[in-house]
């Protein structure tokens, strides 16, 4: 499954190839309570059809009207059409007019698309799980693509806007059963790079075939964790219910920098697991307390899909806390 931003770019490319003029709108900056974060995308077709969102519906109608008005006065396919900045909600009156919550303000870049080449390349590279930095120069509209690093944020200096596409966060699933399939599908939609390790060939092959976009890591789970070298952008979840597979992977995960480590199992099973890890592998109390188990938020989930929602929701909850710490702590290390 595609993330929202990648789907917006895919739609924009398809519309361009069908002969439509397309305008891409990017959230550059926000102040106050803005519905969509910097980097969020909206594509507007010449007939008013849209893909994506920059405000949750508050300013989209006005953007469509602006775009269509511009198309009537200028050839949208002309090479001299340049990007432009738009602000909404500068005053309390304007914020109220457009329905922006709590006096929120949006600064947007409105960019007529002239070249399909960068779209084709960016979509191919992100499909290959690469992180890609896209830079657009406002004065000329020229676009350049380059490699990005995990954790790289949007940058805007008034001259060039650089946004990052691709999986900034990783999720390693230990086990390839039915629950892993549901978790993997949700995580892909949330822009995670999803990896799975399961030495049971029939399980792993089935999961990889049924969920396009995930990558299998060969070998035993503990070796997979070591090979991955988990950083603060990595989550690891053990879902096999088999201590022979889960425990050694968790041992390595809990000693790594992974921002989230979780394991499937009841409270009773988790207590027994922690006792094993402490007695046989000498994990400290500080390391053991990092283990989320039973994994996921307490939603009363019963079905595999509901349990997957609970797991992914807790990962996102922890991820957002970590992301906030990474942006406010010197050196990029969360408290």
Q: Could you give the CA distance from residue 88 to residue 176 in angstroms, rounded to a whole number? A: 46
Which one is predicted more confidently, 256 or 60? Answer: 256
Secondary structure of 97-116 as H, E, C letters: HHCCHHHCEEEEEEEECCCC
41-45/50-52 β-pairing: antiparallel
pLDDT tens digits for range 263-312 = 998 889 888 888 888 887 778 888 888 999 899 999 999 999 999 999 99
The answer for residues whose C-beta is within 8 angstroms of residue 121's C-beta and 6 or more apart is: 145
Cα torsion for 227, 234, 183, 50, to the nearest 10°?
Answer: -120
Q: Could you give the CA distance from residue 88 to residue 104 in angstroms, rounded to a whole number? A: 8
Q: Could you give the CA distance from residue 242 to residue 245 in angstroms, rounded to a whole number? A: 6
**What is residue 108's predicted lDDT score, i.e. its pLDDT?**
92
Q: Which domains does the chain have, with CATH numbers?
A: 4-165 (no CATH), 169-326 (3.40.50.720)
Distances, alpha carbon 91 to alpha carbons 15, 97, 255, in Å: 35, 10, 50
**What is residue 75's predicted lDDT score, i.e. its pLDDT?**
57
pLDDT band at 152 (very low <50, low <70, confident <90, very high): confident
Could you tell me what percent of the chain has a pLDDT over 90? Answer: 50
The answer to whether the CB of 165 falls within 8 A of the CB of 193 is: no
105-112/22-31 β-pairing: antiparallel
Predicted TM-score of the model (pTM): 0.73
| Three-class DSSP category at 265 | coil
Cα torsion for 57, 144, 17, 24, to the nearest 10°?
Answer: 20
Of 44-53, 210-219, 239-248, 272-281, the range with the lowest mean pLDDT is: 272-281
**What is residue 96's predicted lDDT score, i.e. its pLDDT?**
56
């Amino acid at each position: 499954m595609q993330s929202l931003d990648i789907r917006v770019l895919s739609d924009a490319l398809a519309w361009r190839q069908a002969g439509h003029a397309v305008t891409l709108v990017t959230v550059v900056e926000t102040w106050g309570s803005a519905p969509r974060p910097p980097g969020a995308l909206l594509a507007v077709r010449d007939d008013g059809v849209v893909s994506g969102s920059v405000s949750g519906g508050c300013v989209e109608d006005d953007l469509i009207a602006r775009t269509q008005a511009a198309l009537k006065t200028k050839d949208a396919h002309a090479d001299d059409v340049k990007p432009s900045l738009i602000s909404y909600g500068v005053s309390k009156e304007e914020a109220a007019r457009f329905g922006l919550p709590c006096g929120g303000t949006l600064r947007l870049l409105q960019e007529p698309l002239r070249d399909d080449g960068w779209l084709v390349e960016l979509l191919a590279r992100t499909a290959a799980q690469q992180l890609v930095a896209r830079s657009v120069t406002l004065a000329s509209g020229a676009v350049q693509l380059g490699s990005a690093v995990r954790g790289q944020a949007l940058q805007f200096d008034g001259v060039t806007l650089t946004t990052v596409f691709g999986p900034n966060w990783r999720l390693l699933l230990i086990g390839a059963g039915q629950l892993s399939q549901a978790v993997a599908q949700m995580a892909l939609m949330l822009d995670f790079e999803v990896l799975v390790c399961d030495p049971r060939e029939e399980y792993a092959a089935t999961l990889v075939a049924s969920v396009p976009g995930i990558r299998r890591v060969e070998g035993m789970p503990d070796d997979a964790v070591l090979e991955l070298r988990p950083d603060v952008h990595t989550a690891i979840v053990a879902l096999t219910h088999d201590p022979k597979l889960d425990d050694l992977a968790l041992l390595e995960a809990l000693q790594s920098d992974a921002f989230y480590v979780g394991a499937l199992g009841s409270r009773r099973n988790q207590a027994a697991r922690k006792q094993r890890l402490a007695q046989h592998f000498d994990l400290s109390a500080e390391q053991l307390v990092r283990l989320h188990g039973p994994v996921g938020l307490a939603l009363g989930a019963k079905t595999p899909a509901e349990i997957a929602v609970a797991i992914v929701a807790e990962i996102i909850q922890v991820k957002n806390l970590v992301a906030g710490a990474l942006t406010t702590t010197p050196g990029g290390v969360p408290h």
